[in-house]
């Protein structure tokens, strides 16, 4: 654990009681493992991890189901236990000693006592981190495969026996079927699943846990059935972690520890476990305490053996903001909840080692909340700067974008390189020096003077120091590694001119990780590691302040840290900010200036006449040539802020009235001196702020980046350091040229060379050639790792949108060409950096060649249906270019409107901002679409949901958060999407439901989204090539197409991209859909350096118009005119009325929900049906309604005889001989004869009725036969009614009816009648065939059975397959299918 760099180790050794004790650090991260080494106790042996909170909702369990738990007494032992049936179907048994008190109602009778409990269920794979899920699946697969092999061997033995008895030519049909059945079983046992086949029998659904909440009279308590057997009698019930510090482990396989919280009056159980190892590692850096007694005083032996975190005495609270559903991505919901809970839990400092590229600085909902969090509630907020360097302005949000947050860069010292990365950093030839600094203890242990470092088994850095060493003459120490920021550490300034990086700290450590990783510690690096180091340092300072009764505010702490930091040589302020944090000096600053009230004031700086992306700038950042070509005057406004503006208590108001400070203004010594900045000498600052002007004259600065600061010191206390800083960054570009030769660039280790290019107008890409200048004869033939990084900053765009990064590992003499898209007229940084860990010097030849074929005014061409195409003028301004336009459409977007207008609702107890108890609201919008309608034209089954007005924004979003949950037709959660949509796998059939949640504290803002349209994007299976022509005439005629030609420098030409042919569009396309793709204009070619064209091309879009009327009738021709209806108007009216009555009956039948309920609805149906049948006894459609009503799944098992009677009634009305005569042998009829067509239609209706009646009768008969068989098996006596019923139904057997049905339809090929095929195959003992058919039905989610006599849902199909597996003795497959059935059809939609 590197702590010498920041003097944290020295501080704790000198002040062992100021080791963070009394301070609480909030860690906003992936979550923390409560069982991780070093996170159990503080240095004073108190609980370190005092709460673990899941702010994401990914561990939430819906506990809205209430059930009765019954106290059961064993008559033999008199022991008692509670029983309740869990949502998994298992009987849950709880210890009888539990004090279960009702939270709603209870009942008691002579036999049992019952109390209410809440039930839920959760899949382990919804809780596991992705890395853990993969490991557990591998283990479970091994166990599963072993069982599969055991059963497969038995089947192969049976097949061997069959082969020894029969031959293919002599086997009977039954024997052949027997072999096919064995093969079907073998296929189940030996086939492997793929990730896309979620319902394959071998696809692991993972553990599934029943959850139960009860009330014990004082607290809600919960069980999570991690045993999966329902017996909870030996388990300890759990309650909110912060009450009893309980945590459990799911299993010895996963080793994942978890805790719980209960919310919303027990309606939500939050199972809290981490989403990755990141959070525990971050907590370990900030505050791990491995040995509470190991904190030694200065001068003690083995002082460097301390492996603790920076502040081992501090308490830690875990705020999980990495959503497991999103692979640990943060969400706005989680971030806001974390701030709310950090305030409620009285955190002193929080750390956020997360971040995203931003569009806007210091703007948006989260930035507002973060500013209030720091300034009003006095909590220090530390965050990582980002890992996206080495180019400028690559800091992320919120660290680099929010004014109130301390942004931290990552530094690596030589001692860290040696100990953590096993790198060589020091020459072996060294001599001792005589220098008075040898007596300076701080100098002795400075990283640059460390001779050797090792790591013991606990990850402890053991440092041996040899005083005063320097390299002997002739050594090549200049090639060895030196301290630096990591190459990838993000670099300032922010796009609005602010620092971006405020401070730096060690960015790597070996410390604790979760137990599920199966290791105690791990080396990780990143600004994610440097940020908690600073948070730990802050905890040390706050611990000391509290112990010494020194009042503090985050503004005071920040000034102390920034004004005492150690500036590192060779690094710019853009890389290191104010420098390396120095805890000892920061503490001296706090003590020395503890009575200076100015230290608590936040001096907010803004540049009045400089705007960045529509926001007032926080610094001066001139990057474009037109900005640096002349001297400019800027108005700097400084506004002192005490707390939030709406604080109007008397003390604060008096402070405002009396506030006055005399400030000495000066310009810091920046790069190239500071003569290019002129500033006034003095500013008298009063409340409400004042402005002053500074002159910046960059005209004489050489190409490169130049930085400086305008500092404001308190005249009354200048030694306290500046009260505010105005950062100034000037970028001077190289002269504009089409070809830029950067020459030979010599690199020392970790060196970054920045070249700022003036991109010519007309350039659309550049070819960057980099060549290693070493020759093959060079003695050092090792590869040289160099990072090439380019960035252009465009208005209202994150740097990520216009950056390119490539790692170059070059051998001697090797050259590489990289083609990079650029925007003409905007400066571009080209940064080349020796990777921080790469030793040895490097010399590179670098050349840049700007190229370009530019679409004039048509950067994103839009084709409208019906216009024929779109003209695009292209020009070449730099050189002759070969052009051969090529356009294609690759993706399909469809708009969706909400199924109904959204409604704003208040959220629960976790979602109330503490300032005036401001309630947070949600708007939920629901959308539906059917992906199967476009499945043939879509590549795979994936789709991406877009909300264009919301996507791309997290920290700077107007709204608190956005999230989409996507479900299938059975309410199973398919995926989750947020600000950066990922592809979601769609089911093959059935509707998909998308629920969009948007949150904000102002319901009026949310209400503006009540009709929000979203877009569904799919990749088309076949790209649509768009034809390109040289003229409008050629486009309209369709020839000739555009031919490759040379576009001379300074000239342009017009091309026409034609709209696609309607026949090439996806079949499900509708008017208003959008097809998107790419158009390239340059011809490219194998002989050209680089790609020869702009990488990625340009976006092109096509708006789909109305579909053309179809002329395809399938070859049937026009239907003949029906014969004239000779009936009277009265007869027609009677038929229409009868048809209406049948429709009404059908609706009334569906309104009857249960057999014993809905008495009124049942009476209405029966009364109407009987009266209509009485007057129309032979009307088959009417009788079909009656038959279907009796055969309804809700009650058919109690009415099987009535079902048969209804079927018989219909069969008696149909003359089968007449049907046979009509259809004959071939089924021919004269399609041009109207009478013949009408007769065929009538006969088809009768035939359909016949088939349905026979099928329903066969099914009912089979069920009665099965009931009778069960009674015989159990030797139960039938009552008279049963005997009579059996006697009546025994006249025709299931096999008889099936044989009759086969005369009219092939049930094997018609899956609507699968229920009968399954019954037949099962009766014949052909369970392999049953499994084959079930597999086919499950693959389409049971959709193939819809419209038949018995639609079978996917859960029911899985249950049927489980019963077959059970019959075969495949217990492992039974368990998997039962779990799949459970998970595939939840009762309710998953919670947000």
Cβ neighbours of residue 334 closer than 8 Å, sequence gap 6 or more: 55, 56, 57, 319, 320, 321, 322, 323
Q: What is the DSSP letter of 440?
A: -
Cβ neighbours of residue 24 closer than 8 Å, sequence gap 6 or more: 50, 314, 315, 316, 317, 345, 346, 347, 348, 349
Query: Where are the extended beta strands (E) located within 562-613?
Result: 602-612
Contact in structure between 1222 and 1235 (CB atoms under 8 Å): no
Residue 41 forms beta bridges with which residues?
47
Contact in structure between 1057 and 1099 (CB atoms under 8 Å): no
CA 714/CA 547 separation, integer angstroms: 28
Instruction: Report the chain's C-alpha Rg in angstroms.
Output: 38
CB neighbourhood size of 45 (10 A): 11
Transcribe 21-77 into DSSP letters.
TT-EEEEEES---TTSTT-SB-TTSSBSEEEEEE-SSTTEEE--EEEEEEEEE-TTT
Contact in structure between 203 and 193 (CB atoms under 8 Å): yes
DSSP reduced 3-state for 725: strand
Measured at the alpha carbon of residue 605, what is the angle toward residues 602 and 610, in degrees to the nearest 5?
160
Q: Catalytic residue among 6, 10, 19, 29, which?
A: 29
Prior bond of 360 cis (ω within 30°): no
- CA proximity to 986, closest of 1037, 932, 1026: 932
Query: Could you confirm whether 553 is annotated as catalytic?
Result: no
Q: Catalytic residue among 528, 530, 572, 1381, which?
A: 528
Query: Could you confirm whether 278 is annotated as catalytic?
Result: yes
Cβ neighbours of residue 595 closer than 8 Å, sequence gap 6 or more: none
Give the count of alpha carbons within 13 A of 740, CB side only.
20
- Cα–Cα distances (Å) from 918 to 373, 644, 915, 921, 1392, in that order, read 14, 16, 6, 10, 20
Measured at the alpha carbon of residue 152, what is the angle toward residues 150 and 156, in degrees to the nearest 5?
125
Measured at the alpha carbon of residue 1357, what is the angle toward residues 1352 and 1361, in degrees to the nearest 5?
150
**Cα pseudo-dihedral 687, 691, 692, 697, rounded to 10:** 140
CA 91/CA 228 separation, integer angstroms: 11
Contact in structure between 960 and 1392 (CB atoms under 8 Å): no
What are residue 1014's phi and psi, to 5 degrees? -115, 165
Q: Catalytic residue among 278, 367, 446, 1189, which?
A: 278
CA 1372/CA 188 separation, integer angstroms: 12
Give per-residue burial for 706-739: e unless 16+ CB within 10 Å, then b.
bbbbbbbbbeebeebbbbbbbbbbbbbbbebebe
Q: For strand 349-352 and strand 380-384, is the pairing parallel, antiparallel, or unpaired? A: parallel
Contact in structure between 1258 and 1293 (CB atoms under 8 Å): no
Q: What is the DSSP letter of 1092?
A: S
CB neighbourhood size of 1341 (10 A): 24
Residue 798 token pair? 């994150």
Query: Could you confirm whether 528 is annotated as catalytic?
Result: yes
CA 917/CA 1368 separation, integer angstroms: 61
CA 84/CA 247 separation, integer angstroms: 24
| Distance separating the N- and C-terminal Cα atoms of the chain | 39
Residue with tokens 């305490």: 289
Active site members = 29, 278, 528
């Amino acid at each position: 654990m590197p702590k010498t760099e920041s003097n944290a180790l020295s501080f704790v050794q000198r002040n062992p009681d100021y080791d963070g004790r009394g301070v609480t650090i909030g860690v906003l991260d992936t979550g923390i493992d409560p069982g991780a080494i070093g996170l159990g106790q503080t240095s004073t042996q108190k609980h370190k991890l005092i709460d673990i909170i899941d702010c994401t909702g990914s561990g939430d369990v819906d506990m809205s189901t209430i059930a009765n738990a019954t106290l059961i007494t064993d008559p033999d032992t008199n022991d008692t236990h509670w029983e309740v049936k869990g949502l998994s179907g298992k009987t849950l048994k709880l210890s009888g000693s539990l004090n279960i008190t009702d939270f709603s109602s209870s009942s008691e009778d002579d036999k049992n006592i019952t109390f209410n409990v809440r039930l839920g269920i959760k899949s382990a794979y919804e809780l596991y981190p992705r890395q853990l899920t993969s490991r557990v699946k591998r283990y479970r697969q091994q166990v599963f495969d072993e069982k599969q092999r055991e059963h497969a061997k038995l089947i192969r033995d049976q097949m061997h026996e069959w082969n020894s008895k029969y031959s293919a030519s002599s086997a009977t049909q039954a024997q052949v079927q027997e072999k096919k059945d064995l093969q079907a079983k073998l296929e189940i046992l030996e086939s492997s699943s793929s990730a896309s086949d979620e319902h394959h029998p071998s696809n692991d659904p993972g553990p599934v846990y029943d959850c139960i909440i009860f009330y014990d009279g004082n607290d809600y308590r919960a069980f999570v059935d991690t045993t999966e057997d329902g017996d909870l009698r030996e388990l300890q019930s759990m309650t909110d972690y912060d009450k009893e510090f309980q945590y459990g482990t799911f299993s010895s396989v996963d080793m994942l520890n978890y805790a719980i919280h209960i919310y919303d009056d027990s309606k939500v159980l939050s199972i809290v476990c981490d989403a990755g190892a990141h959070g525990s590692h971050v907590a370990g850096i900030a505050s791990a305490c491995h040995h509470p007694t190991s904190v030694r005083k200065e001068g003690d032996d083995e002082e460097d053996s301390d492996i603790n975190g920076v502040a081992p005495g501090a308490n830690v609270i875990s705020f999980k903001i990495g959503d497991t559903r999103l692979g640990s991505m943060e969400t706005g919901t989680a971030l806001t909840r974390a701030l709310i809970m950090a305030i409620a839990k009285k955190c002193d400092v929080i750390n956020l080692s997360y971040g995203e590229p931003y569009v806007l600085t210091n703007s948006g909902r989260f930035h507002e909340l973060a500013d209030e969090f720091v300034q009003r509630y006095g909590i220090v907020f530390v965050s990582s700067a980002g890992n996206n360097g080495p180019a400028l302005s690559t800091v992320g949000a919120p660290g680099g974008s929010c004014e109130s947050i301390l942004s931290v860069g990552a530094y690596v010292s030589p001692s860290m390189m040696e100990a953590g990365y096993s790198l060589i950093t020091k020459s072996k030839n060294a001599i001792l020096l005589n220098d008075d600094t040898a007596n300076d203890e701080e100098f002795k242990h400075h990283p640059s003077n460390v001779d050797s470092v090792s790591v013991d088994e606990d990850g402890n850095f053991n440092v041996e120091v040899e005083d005063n060493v320097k390299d002997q003459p002739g050594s090549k120490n200049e090639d060895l590694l030196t301290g630096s920021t990591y190459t990838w550490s993000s670099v300032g300034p922010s796009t609005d001119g602010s620092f971006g990086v405020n401070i730096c700290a060690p960015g790597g450590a070996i410390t604790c990780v979760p137990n599920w990783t199966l290791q105690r510690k791990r080396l990780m690096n990143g600004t994610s590691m440097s940020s908690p180091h600073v948070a730990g340092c802050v905890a040390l300072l706050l611990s000391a302040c509290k112990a010494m009764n020194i009042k503090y505010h985050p503004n005071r702490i920040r000034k102390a840290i920034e004004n005492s930091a150690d500036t590192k040589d060779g690094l710019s302020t853009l890389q290191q900010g104010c420098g390396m944090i120095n805890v000892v000096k920061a503490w001296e600053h706090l003590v020395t200036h503890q009575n200076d009230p100015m230290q608590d004031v936040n001096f907010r700086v803004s540049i009045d006449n400089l705007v960045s992306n529509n926001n007032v700038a926080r610094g001066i950042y001139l990057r474009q040539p037109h900005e640096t070509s002349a001297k400019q005057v800027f108005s700097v406004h400084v506004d002192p802020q005490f707390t939030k503006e709406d604080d109007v208590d008397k003390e604060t108001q008096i402070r405002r009235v009396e506030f006055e400070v005399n400030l000495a203004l000066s310009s810091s010594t920046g790069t190239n001196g500071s003569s290019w900045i002129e500033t006034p000498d003095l500013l008298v600052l009063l409340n409400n702020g004042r402005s002053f002007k500074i002159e910046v004259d960059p005209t004489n600065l050489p190409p490169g980046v130049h930085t400086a600061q305008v500092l404001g010191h308190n005249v009354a206390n200048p030694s306290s350091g500046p009260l505010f800083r105005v950062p100034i960054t000037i970028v001077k570009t190289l002269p504009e040229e089409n070809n830029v030769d950067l020459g030979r660039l010599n690199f020392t280790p970790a060196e970054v060379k920045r070249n700022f290019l003036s991109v010519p107008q007309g350039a659309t890409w550049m070819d960057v050639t980099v060549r290693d200048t070493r020759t093959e004869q060079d003695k050092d033939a090792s590869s040289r790792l160099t990072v090439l990084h380019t960035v252009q900053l465009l208005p209202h765009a994150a740097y990520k949108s216009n950056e390119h990064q490539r790692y170059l590992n070059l051998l001697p003499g090797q050259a590489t060409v990289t083609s990079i898209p650029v925007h003409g007229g905007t400066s571009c940084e080209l940064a080349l950096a020796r990777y921080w860990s790469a030793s040895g010097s490097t010399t590179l030849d670098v050349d840049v060649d700007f190229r370009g074929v530019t679409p004039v005014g048509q950067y994103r061409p839009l084709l409208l249906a019906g216009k024929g195409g779109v003209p695009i003028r292209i020009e070449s301004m730099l050189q002759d270019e070969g052009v051969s336009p090529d356009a294609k459409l690759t993706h399909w977007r469809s708009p969706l409107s909400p199924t109904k207008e959204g409604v704003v609702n208040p959220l629960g107890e976790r979602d109330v901002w503490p300032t005036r108890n401001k309630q947070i609201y949600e708007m939920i919008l629901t959308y539906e679409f059917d992906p199967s309608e476009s499945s043939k034209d879509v590549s795979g089954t994936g789709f991406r949901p877009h909300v264009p007005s919301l996507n791309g924004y997290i920290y700077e979003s107007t709204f608190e958060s956005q999230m989409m949950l996507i479900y299938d037709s059975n309410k199973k959660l398919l995926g989750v999407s947020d600000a950066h949509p990922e592809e979601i796998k769609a089911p093959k059939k059935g509707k998909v439901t998308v629920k969009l949640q948007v949150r904000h504290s102002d319901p009026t803002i949310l209400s503006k989204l009540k009709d929000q349209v979203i877009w569904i994007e799919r990749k088309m299976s076949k790209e649509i090539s768009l034809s390109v022509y040289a003229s409008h005439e050629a486009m309209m005629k369709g020839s000739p197409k555009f031919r490759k030609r040379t576009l001379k420098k300074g000239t342009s030409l017009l091309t026409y991209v034609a709209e696609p042919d309607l026949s090439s569009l996806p079949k499900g396309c509708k008017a208003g859909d959008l097809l998107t793709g790419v158009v390239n204009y340059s011809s490219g070619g194998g002989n050209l350096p680089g790609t020869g064209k702009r990488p990625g091309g340009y976006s092109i879009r096509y708006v789909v118009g109305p579909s053309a009327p179809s002329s395809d009738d399938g070859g049937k021709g026009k239907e003949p005119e029906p014969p004239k209806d000779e009936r009277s108007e009265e007869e027609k009216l009677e038929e229409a009325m009868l048809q209406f009555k049948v429709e009404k009956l059908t609706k009334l039948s569906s309104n009857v929900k249960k057999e014993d309920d809905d008495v009124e609805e049942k009476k209405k149906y029966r009364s109407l049906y009987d009266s209509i049948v009485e007057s129309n006894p032979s009307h088959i459609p009417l009788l079909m309604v009656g038959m279907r009503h009796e055969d309804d799944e809700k009650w058919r098992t109690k009415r099987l005889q009535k079902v048969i009677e209804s079927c018989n009634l219909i069969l008696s009305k149909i003359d089968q001989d007449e049907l046979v005569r009509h259809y004959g042998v071939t089924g021919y009829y004269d399609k041009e004869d109207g009478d013949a067509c009408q007769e065929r239609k009538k006969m088809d209706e009768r035939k359909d009725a016949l088939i349905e009646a026979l099928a329903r009768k066969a099914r009912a008969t089979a069920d009665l036969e099965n009931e009778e068989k069960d009674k015989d098996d159990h030797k139960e006596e039938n009552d008279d009614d049963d005997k009579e019923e059996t006697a009546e139904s025994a006249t025709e057997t299931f096999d008889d009816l099936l044989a009759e049905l086969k005369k009219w339809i092939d049930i094997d090929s018609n899956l609507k009648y699968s229920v009968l095929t399954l019954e037949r195959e099962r009766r014949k003992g052909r369970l392999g065939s049953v499994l084959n058919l079930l597999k086919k039905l499950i693959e389409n989610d049971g959709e193939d059975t819809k419209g038949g006599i018995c639609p079978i849902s996917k859960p029911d199909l899985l249950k049927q397959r489980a019963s077959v597996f059970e019959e075969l003795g495949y217990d492992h497959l039974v368990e998997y299918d039962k779990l799949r059935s459970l998970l595939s059809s939840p009762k309710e939609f998953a919670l947000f």
